[in-house]
Amino acid sequence: MFLKNLIKILYAIIFWIWVISSCIIYSIFCIIFGLFAKRISHIIGVYWCKHMALIGGSKIRLKGIEKLDKKINYIFTANHQSFADIPVLFGFIPFYNVFIAKKSLFYIPFFGWGIAAMGHIAINRSNPKKAKRSIARAIESIKLKNKSVFAFPEGTRSRTGELGEFKLGIFSMAIQAEIDVVPIAIVGTREIMPKGSYYFQSGNVDVYFGTPISSNKFKKSEKYKMSQEARQQIKAMLK
């Protein structure tokens, strides 16, 4: 038992030495290229996420991706069980995308600066006016900058693994932008990095893609109805 715990501690130390050092290096390159070539900055971020999964011993498997048209932009909505959800989605979904994340992530030295340089969108949920501005930026990214967007409509990670209630902002955005929503169920990230864990554990992560939900069939007042359709798809895929 002592030896097993010692190995875990040593692995955690090695893992975080790599994460911190690589984060600084990758973030510097993201910041530099973000000034004049955000697409290259995005690719650098993608490879950092892929390398993180490789170092952690995680195998990412995409299921149902063939349902999607890679020439179209989408809003991806996923369940949220682990910090690992972000590198899994950003690193392995084969779309040029940005994510909407809580503002506090953008204050983390190097990491926060890097994701800001790539064009990811901070949202301040405690301030409705600022949250609306974040939604407007996301719509601009989709329509003018030809990007897809992904978000976690639960708003925070689930401690139990149960699917929480959905916040409606992302679905309001989908209807305004007239863009389809793709429900995603992530299975396995809670095992490789549960909430409160400090390092990746080896394991498989399955990412299930649901059927795209057309925003054109919903009125502006029907964002709750749209959210429930997405939630039911995710719930079904998690089973």
pLDDT of residue 141: 74
Confidence of residue 22 (pLDDT cuts 50, 70, 90): very high
Quote the pTM value: 0.88
Q: Average pLDDT for residues 166-176, to the nearest whole number?
A: 90
Q: What size, in residues, is the chain? A: 239
**Amino acid letter, residue 90:** F
Q: Which of 76, 97, 89 is nearest to 174 (CA)?
A: 76
Q: Identify the top-confidence range among 10-24, 95-109, 196-210, 218-232.
A: 218-232
Q: Among the residues of the chain, which ranges form H helices?
A: 2-34, 38-56, 85-92, 111-117, 128-143, 169-177, 189-192, 223-238
Q: Average pLDDT for residues 6-19, to the nearest whole number?
A: 81
Distance CA 103, CA 123 (A): 5
pLDDT of residue 145 exceeding 80: no
Q: What is the pLDDT of residues 44-99, one digit of tens each?
A: 999 999 988 888 788 999 999 998 998 888 999 999 988 889 889 999 999 988 88
Return the minimum-mean-pLDDT range out of 8-17, 41-50, 98-107, 165-174: 8-17
**Amino acid letter, residue 53:** A
Give domain limits for the chain: 2-238
pLDDT of residue 169: 86
pLDDT of residue 199: 67
DSSP 3-state of 77: strand
